[in-house]
């Protein structure tokens, strides 16, 4: 009985964890309007813009994990509002 409960718990966690993680495409969709607005406002994006470009390139090349890392870095480096 304990084994069944453990398997059920492992199955539930393995299904739930990916739902919390953002995909590269979701991150890109979240960042794109923020970057465009910051550019329109004349803010210097510096390293955030570079990370976004690298993430976009990695996504185009099919490297999902690398794209996620670049988009997360870009999100962290974005100028505060």
Q: Write the pLDDT tens digit of every residue in 15-66.
A: 444 545 789 999 999 999 999 999 999 998 999 999 999 999 999 999 999 9
Task: Quote the pTM value.
Answer: 0.71
Closest CA to 45 of 15, 2, 78: 78
Give me the count of residues in the chain.
81
Q: Measured between alpha carbons, how far is 79 from 48 in angstroms, rounded to an integer? A: 8
CA distances from 80 to 4, 25, 27, 34 (A): 48, 22, 17, 11
Q: Where are the domains of the chain?
A: 22-77
Q: Measured between alpha carbons, how far is 4 from 14 in angstroms, rounded to an integer? A: 15
Looking at residue 75, what is its pLDDT? 93
Q: CB within 8 A of 64, min separation 6: which ones?
A: 23, 24, 58
């Amino acid at each position: 009985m304990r084994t069944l409960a453990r398997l059920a718990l492992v199955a539930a966690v393995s299904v739930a964890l990916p739902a919390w993680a953002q995909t590269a495409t979701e991150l890109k969709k979240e960042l794109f309007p923020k970057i465009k607005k910051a550019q329109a406002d004349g803010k210097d994006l510096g390293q955030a813009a570079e990370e976004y470009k690298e993430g976009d390139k990695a996504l185009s090349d099919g490297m999902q994990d690398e794209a996620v890392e670049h988009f997360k870095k870009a999100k962290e480096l974005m100028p505060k509002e």
